[in-house]
Structure 1
């Protein structure tokens, strides 16, 4: 079970990873994964 602090760290790492992807594929729409994946992580 994740603590709040652990979950926050995971979400920050995931957002960082997704923002890096967004920069790499600037011509593609990456809004959906950014919105969806963190919610998926919280529910896990």
Structure 2
């Protein structure tokens, strides 16, 4: 279980898409296909 968490944390690159991917367990490709993430504030 610890290894799985570490593997997921390695995928974080500071973008909103990587954070959403980690929190939702959706691959970044699926997030983009579904409309992506707006990083505008």
> Would you say same fold, with TM above 0.5?
no
**Higher RCO (CA-CA < 8 Å; seq separation 6+):** 1
TM range (shorter): 0.3 to 0.5
Bigger Cα Rg: 1
| Greater helix content | 1
